[in-house]
Amino acid sequence: MSGKLVRLGRLFNAASARSLIVPADHGLNLGAVSGLEEPRLLLERLEGLGVDATLVSPGIARATADLFARRTAPARVLTIDLPLLSSVPGADGEVRAYALIASVQDALRLGVECVKVLLVWGIESAVQMENLRLVAALARECEVSEMPLMVEPVLWGAAIPEADRADPRLVANACRIAVELGADVVKGPYVADPDALATLVRRTPVPLVLLGGPRLDDARAVLDIAANAMNAGVRGIVFGRNVFQRPDADAMIRALRSIVHDGADAGQAAKLVV
């Protein structure tokens, strides 16, 4: 297990044991998404801003390899699956099909530290079963290859009403199943109730990092989420659109870093966002 330990260690800050992750993989599903039309421009800035890791697709990992060919560069998590949201490129919608688009061997050749896949709940049963089967098989392959596996359970399907998609019980069940399938890291949805979030952290026996979700206009709301997550014991945050879709993206990264690694509260961090 030494290979996994070394790669997982690259995802987390040595001093705080936490991770600030800014993903750049949204184009895999949504195309030239706003704020990420030129992903290299974002990735070029991450090292200087103290970001610990990023998420990238196979194509972007290859195209930007030179940015990560140094010891101080952020770690890379490779997104290797594709949920088909629409037959129209860049359109959003219900998950209609699911497939892996790269392998663990591809990840090893690209030199990344981790691979990431979705575990989608509430969708049509045949698609959901294929998703489960592929994640389980991938976990076995990752174990053999010493490659960490990040699983992102999401409650996207029509069978789960919008109002229930942050329900602590459903989120806890989804995260637990991800662990049972073999996840080394779980990238879970945010749970607003602090006691429920702390319980989720305590009952998840692998590092739990939280996704940022849809873009919020209020910078303080973004910082409150980050601070609440850290107070609950979450090991990291994965904030994409709430970073790269903001005109003050660099300032937001600095503010989030102060929360994740320096123990700042949301009020203190807000002073860094002009």
Range from 25-34, 95-104, 105-114, 182-191 carrying the lowest mean pLDDT: 25-34
Q: What pLDDT, on the 0 to 100 scale, is given for residue 229?
A: 96
Residue 17 pLDDT > 90, yes or no? yes
Q: What percent of the chain has pLDDT over 70?
A: 99
Do the Cβ atoms of 95 and 122 come closer than 8 Å? no
* Cβ burial, residue 177 (10 Å; 0-12/13-18/19+): middle
Domains and CATH numbers, the chain: 2-270 (3.20.20.70)
Residue 224 pLDDT > 80, yes or no? yes
Amino acid at 198: A
**E strand map for the chain:** 19-21, 53-56, 75-79, 81-84, 97-100, 114-120, 149-154, 185-188, 208-211, 236-238
Residue 1 pLDDT > 80, yes or no? no
Residue 103 pLDDT > 90, yes or no? yes
- pLDDT (tens digit per residue) in 118-145: 999 999 999 999 999 999 999 999 999 9
Do the Cβ atoms of 230 and 269 come closer than 8 Å? no
Average pLDDT along the chain? 94
Q: pLDDT confidence of 85, banded at 50, 70, 90?
A: confident
- The C-alpha atoms of residue 39 and residue 139 are separated, in whole angstroms, by 29
- pLDDT (tens digit per residue) in 21-75: 999 999 888 888 899 999 999 999 999 999 999 999 999 999 999 999 999 999 9
Do the Cβ atoms of 273 and 251 come closer than 8 Å? yes
Q: What pLDDT, on the 0 to 100 scale, is given for residue 102?
A: 97
Q: What pLDDT, on the 0 to 100 scale, is given for residue 213?
A: 76
- The C-alpha atoms of residue 112 and residue 150 are separated, in whole angstroms, by 13
H-helix segments, 84-151: 104-110, 125-145
